[in-house]
Chains A and B, each alone.
Chain A
Amino acid sequence: MDFVVLGVVFGPVVLLLISFLIPQGKASRIFIEISAVLFFVTAVYLFVAPSSNMFNLYIPHIVWKLITLLTAVFILVRSILDKHYIISVLAFTQSIILAVFEILNAPEEAVPFVSFNYDGKVLLVAGSCITAFFVPVTLIYLKKYFSQKKAVKKQEKQVEAGILLLMAAFAGLAAANSFTGLFLFWQWMYIAVRLILRAFQSSERKTAAVVLVVQQAALTVWMASIPFIYQKTGSVYINSLDAGFGESRVVVAVMAFALTIVSGCLIPDKNIWQDYFSVPAPVSGIITLIMSVLSPVAVLLKFGFLFTGLNNIILTLVIIFGSLIMAGGAYYSCVSRKAAQILQGILMSAAGWGITTVFVSRESMFFTVGYTAVSSITITFLFACITILEYIKGTQDVEQMYNLHKEMPEMAFFMSAAMLLFLFAPFYSALQRLLYVRFLAENPVSMLLTVTALVLVSAVIFRWLSVLLSAGDKTSIERDAYPDVFRVILPLFFVFTVAANLSFGSIYRYFRQQPIPMGSLAAENIETYSELEGFLYMLKPGKGLIYAVGVIVVLAACFYILQRFGKADKYTGNTDSRVFYHYSLTAWIPAWVNPGLILRAAWISLAAIIAGVALSCLK
């Protein structure tokens, strides 16, 4: 088993254990920052280096199983201490099944237990870069946050531990090859999120608890289904699934899908998100990015082959569900005024994109991976920006960003550049590729939903841009409130974001050169597909480079002018400019229409239909 992979998966955990030893404070923050950077470096190494068998070390399966069992037991104990008895019951069942089936029955595990394929590597790089750049910002922010909240050090430590565990779980999910592995790493994800949420008591709400319970229930079902799958196929190795069982693969596929949706909390319903929204901006950003965007896509990519073989009904339904998530995210980004919530919505939309297109064809899979990675990096950058804003100005309200170009010109410039880079994915490249994606193009409903989502997202970005680019009069902050760490990190992150946006074409090419791993898929009209032009997501970096450089230069010029002559010159007799708040983009919808309600009804009924169809396939 590749040592590096193990390093990626287990490194954070080890570091986590160490971080509990070192005292709380600056030391531990630096420590975690170092570990995040290490994580990033290792991931990049994994991506560029051919899988080296130099230092292999073999971990017997029993170790993995014991780890799994320990995790389950830990959750059991923890939940009993927290008096979450439902969860404890579920955890108990899980551990029983694990003990009986995995350890006594001792099925043949996947070899290797964790390994990355190409999609996984890309996502891993994206996620690790997010953590590397975003975690320090988060930590500095949290320091201030907790000091204001007069919270005990314990909570800060909880969050840090949670972040570390989140990394580990994500790496594991991207790498896991067996059902047990998926179970294990989803559990880690669960623990991490739980840790983080516990740190902010305010978000310990009812629905949060409900969501956690549902996640555990899904995991239990998953665990319980493993023995049956083992009976059918004789292994718990994911890729060995299509051997053997016939129609009931539908059930497995739907189960995998459902597990991903539930544990990724990818449900287009405001009430369910809110508990993740209500934690401070950066933390909610990290959770959404890792748990709701990258991990689900990474997991579903593993099951892609399962879906492509399926009958169209179930696939259609699943795709519609994905596009529903997309539309829902876009809608919620429209209605919310806080920058963090807007970004959350856009992230949800991106995740929905991934889920919509991931099953469909190899080409679109490549595109999806790239799109998910790049857009999540771009949005993380925006997250970092608004985190710093909230750190300095105490507000992340979009309305308050009028004179940002005076207070923090470089940040305003970075933000708008990133937005413009993001803007062209929907408007130029995406739709073309959607049209070439077979199932999506044959699916008018999901197509309409997708287009709506694209339009709404771009409208939100427009509103934001129009605020950023408009001049204000007075500056309200003092510059020395701007920590030097930010001065270093922000430009670095920006450069990386632009690079990621531009280099997507080469990532795409890199994919096409790779020998296709796991069950091969027919790539329909691959030639036309790869010939599609686009400003950003193109094969050759030529056009994209010109476009992006052009955008950045123009913006820089704009901001220079704003800086230079920005203040109200010529005449100031403008008494009619009073307080002005922007409209909500859905103000025109009549009162008797409630899109949130419609969305809820839609996803519930869709879920029901999917379940029904899946069960009907069981003969």
Chain B
Amino acid sequence: MLEVILWFIGIIIIVPVIYLAENIILSAIPGQNRSYPIQPIYRLIKHFSKTDLYNRPLTRWFPVGACVFALVTLFFVSAGENIMLIISGLVMMELFILVGACSTKEPYGIMAAQRGISRLTVWSFALMIAAASLYKAAGTLKLSLAIQYSGESILLSRLPLVTAGLFTAAMIKGNLGYFDFGINANTMSFLDTALYTPYGGRSLGFVQLTQWIETGIWLKLISFFLPWQPLISFLVSAVFYLAAMLLNAVVPKMTWKKVMMNSWIWAGGLPAINYIWLYML
């Protein structure tokens, strides 16, 4: 139980750390904007200190629900629960955020929700195929049982593409690099993702908190497939994610349909290929 709690805290902490690292590195690079090292946290506090003003009453409650679901899912992840449980938790969380965005009845909010739904098909497909191949490779869906296989680097050797696909799905969720589903072509920074157009003030704070936790969940999920000690593989996946975030600043944005194609090819195709390939072994 203690271990679970430690993981719970660790996963919550790691994501701000990633943001800080990104901030520090970016501000060190010449030609990037200067910002305080812990500006993300400042920004979160600021958002929570503001009111939110909507013409739709429910909009400010959906993010709270999403945040709750994220916390529950986080608990499941750190307890190494059944992966399907985690998937359904993530899906439910996404549903809340999308419905909130849709319920503002502002065109750009609805557009964001629409893209979110399209996005959902990709990453949930990736996750479910990953679950299937995990079962095929390890014979179980419980992550806490699967991790012993990963220790002997069976998982990574048998599911390399699934791992890659999962990482791509994490990038999709973070609107990173070529997988940016943002509304206006320039998403100012990672925490200001344009997919969350209709949210503002406190509910934006909740949304961003949700996104932090969610990113942590993804990193932990990916780390289950990596062969090293749990802590080390978690850190490794975090470092990969940081690299993706740094890449984000120099990658041009595309139309969301091209993004969709890319996402299907990379996040949907790789695990599928790997899954079929499992039978060839």
Contact = CB atoms under 8 A, between A and B. Distances in A.
A103 interface: no
Nearest to B263: A588
A521 B135 CA distance: 24
Given A431-B84, A459-B117, A462-B117, A402 B105 contact: yes
B117 A561 contact: no
A359 B112 CA distance: 43
Contacts, number: 140
Interface in A553-572: 554, 558, 561-562, 564-566, 568-572
B195 to A, nearest CB: 14
Nearest to B85: A428
A442 B118 CA distance: 29
Interface in B77-107: 82, 84-85, 87-88, 91, 95, 98-99, 102-107
Contacts of A456: 121
Contact of A576 (B53, B91, B106): B106
Given A448-B272, A466-B117, A458 B91 contact: yes
Interface stretch (A39-47, A184-192, A349-357, A468-476): A468-476
A533 B117 contact: no
A577 B56 contact: no
Contact of A580 (B55, B107, B275): B107
A206 interface: no
A75 interface: no
Contacts of B117: 459, 462-463, 466, 585
B121 A566 contact: no
Contacts of A533: 82
A494 B152 CA distance: 51
A435 interface: yes
Given A424-B88, A458-B91, A459-B121, A470 B257 contact: no
Q: Of residues B57, B110, B120, B260, which shows the largest number of chain A Cβ atoms within 10 Å of its Cβ?
A: B57
Contact of A562 (B58, B115, B129, B275): B58
Contacts of B55: 568-572, 574
Contacts of A458: 91, 120, 124
A590 B128 CA distance: 25
B232 interface: no
A467 to B, nearest CB: 7
A444 B162 CA distance: 14
A469 B104 CA distance: 10
B125 interface: yes
A574 B136 CA distance: 52
Contacts of A569: 55, 57
A459 B58 contact: no
Given A470-B56, A562-B58, A585 B125 contact: no
A71 B98 CA distance: 54
B83 to A, nearest CB: 10
Contact of B105 (A444, A447, A472, A590): A472
In the complex, which of the residues A432, A572, A590 has the most CB atoms of chain B within 10 Å of its own CB atom?
A432
A465 interface: yes
A479 interface: no
A451 B129 contact: yes
Interface in A422-480: 424, 427-428, 431-432, 435, 441-442, 444-445, 447-448, 451-452, 454-456, 458-459, 462-463, 465-467, 469-472
Nearest to A562: B58
B1 interface: no
Given A451-B128, A451-B132, A462-B117, A470 B276 contact: no
A431 B105 contact: no
Interface of B is mostly: helix
A583 interface: yes
B231 interface: no
B141 interface: yes
B61 interface: yes
Contacts of B66: none
Contact of B88 (A402, A428, A558, A564): A428
A227 B55 CA distance: 73
A619 interface: no
B84 A432 contact: yes
Contact of B135 (A402, A435, A578): A435
A465, A588, A590: which has the most chain B beta carbons within 10 Å? A588
A587 B257 contact: yes
Interface string B27-71: 000000000000000000000000001111110010001000000
A535 interface: yes
Contacts of B131: 431, 435
B114 interface: yes
Contacts of B106: 574, 576-577
B138 to A, nearest CB: 12
A428 B84 contact: yes
Contacts of A470: 56, 58, 99, 102-105
Contacts of A558: 58, 61
Contacts of B61: 558, 561
A135 to B, nearest CB: 33
A83 interface: no
Contacts of A561: 57-58, 61
Given A428-B84, A590-B261, A444 B279 contact: yes
Contacts of A445: 276
Contacts of B87: 427-428
A570 B53 contact: yes
B247 interface: no
Centre residue among B102, B108, B115, B124 by max chain A CB count within 10 A: B102
Contacts of A448: 129, 272, 275-276
Contacts of A427: 84, 87-88, 91, 124
Given A432-B84, A470-B58, 4 more contacts: A428-B88, A444-B276, A469-B103, A570-B53
Interface of B: 53-58, 61, 65, 82, 84-85, 87-88, 91, 95, 98-99, 102-108, 110, 113-115, 117-118, 120-121, 124-125, 128-129, 131-132, 135-136, 141, 256-257, 260-261, 272, 275-276, 278-279
20 contacts: A424-B88, A427-B84, A427-B87, A428-B84, A428-B85, A432-B84, A432-B141, A441-B135, A459-B117, A466-B98, A466-B99, A470-B99, A565-B57, A566-B57, A569-B55, A570-B55, A577-B107, A582-B114, A585-B121, A590-B261
